[in-house]
Amino acid sequence: MFRIRGIVASGGKCSAFLPVWKQLTRLQSRMSTVSHPVAAVCQVTATPDKQANFSTCKRLVEDARERGACMVFLPEGFDYIGSSREETLTLAESLEGDTVSQYTRLARKLKVWLSLGGFHEQGHNWETDRRIYNSHIIINDKGEVVSVYRKSHLFDVEIPERGVFLKESAFTIPGPSLVSPVQTPIGKVGLGICYDLRFPELSLALQTHGAEILTYPSAFTVPTGAAHWEVLLRARAVETQCFVLAAAQVGRHHEKRSSYGHALAVDPWGVVLGDCGGEEPGIVLVEIDQEKVSSTRKNMPVQQHRRDTGFYHTLGKT
């Protein structure tokens, strides 16, 4: 059984870390009276074993669906996290491969929407250059792939004093463009992936095009997560006045890599609604009340106060 860290209504606080059966009982008793759609934000520890990872994610999705979730969010690298460049490339698949097919069947069987937060997709010139995309896939409750966003900003970072050495561009192609927010049962979802979180231009562009919920499935390193994860997620929520849902990897994937965890759900006011913690797989279940988005934007109409695009480029002309 997986730990459920928080079961919350939008605008509420996380429940205490009760035993799982008590939290589930509390949620089930409320589900009969709550009309807001429920999203599940998942936390996993992926390894190079793709079938074991699918088994873990499948159980999380089934558990979330049983508790009333209509959309489930899985993190970057939900399919696997390789221990080397060679292993990462060897395990990559196309969108028509076995991994995505397993998830389309699962979505159709459970009648649930899925956000697959970072799939290792073979690039369009795979046979010649052996490079991949980091792809965020949305599958609807009929088992159809309705959107694919390919990660725009690649994590090429060296922080020697903190033991961070990653160069995503060594085997990954940056995505060519953003994709329009997707209409889902919980609202319009704007897609990002992990390092995209650090670029507010992306979140503002998605909000401008109708996003009510932003999602940043991630595999943050432990040092960068401890320093920046929560503050960045809350900042993106506050500046766009959107819900932010961020599934996460947690713990040790293999001897070379560990992830920070703390899958989060944040409301449009920047309040953390749920946190999976930094130790083990689990889910946060959160009610998405669209009135919270509307009221926040009405009471503080930031977008109406924003100047035209040319205004923000005037510094370059002086």
Two structure tokens written together for 116: 């697959």
- pLDDT for the residue numbered 7: 46
Q: Are 72 and 38 in contact (CB under 8 A)?
A: no
- pLDDT for the residue numbered 3: 61
- pLDDT for the residue numbered 19: 39
pLDDT one digit per residue (tens) for the chain, 318 residues: 566 554 454 433 333 333 343 344 444 444 445 589 999 999 999 999 999 999 999 999 999 999 999 999 999 999 999 999 999 999 999 999 999 999 999 999 999 999 999 999 999 999 899 999 999 999 999 999 999 999 999 988 777 877 777 788 888 999 999 999 999 999 999 999 999 999 999 999 999 999 999 999 999 999 999 999 999 999 999 999 999 999 999 999 998 899 999 999 999 999 999 999 999 999 999 999 999 999 999 999 998 999 988 898 888 775
Query: 301 vs 170, 231, 293, CA distance in Å?
Result: 42, 22, 11
- pLDDT for the residue numbered 21: 35
Place of tokens 């969010």: 73
Any bridge partners for residue 187, and if so which?
Answer: 184
Contacts of 262 (CB under 8 A, 6+ apart): 43, 225, 229, 230, 248, 250, 275, 276, 277, 278
- pLDDT for the residue numbered 282: 95
- pLDDT for the residue numbered 2: 60
Give the residue among 232, 165, 223, 164 at the shortest CA–CA distance from 194: 232
Taking the C-alpha atoms of residue 122 and residue 172, their distance in angstroms, rounded to an integer, is: 9
Which DSSP helix (H) or strand (E) runs through 242? Answer: none
Name the region of 232 (left: φ>0; alpha: ψ -120 to 50; beta: rest).
alpha
Any bridge partners for residue 190, and if so which?
Answer: 214
Domains defined for the chain, CATH in brackets: 3-299 (3.60.110.10)
- pLDDT for the residue numbered 28: 45
Taking the C-alpha atoms of residue 107 and residue 186, their distance in angstroms, rounded to an integer, is: 16
Backbone angles phi, psi at 313, to 5 degrees: -105, 5
SS (H, E, C) 130-185: CCEEEEEEEECCCCCEEEEEECCCCCEEEEHHHCEEEEHHHCECCCCCCCCCEEEC
Give the residue among 99, 216, 199, 209 at the shortest CA–CA distance from 149: 216
Contacts of 267 (CB under 8 A, 6+ apart): 10, 11, 237, 243, 273, 292
Q: Are 82 and 48 in contact (CB under 8 A)?
A: yes
Taking the C-alpha atoms of residue 178 and residue 276, their distance in angstroms, rounded to an integer, is: 28
Residue positions annotated with a catalytic role: 76, 151, 194
Give the residue among 59, 100, 45, 43 at the shortest CA–CA distance from 245: 43
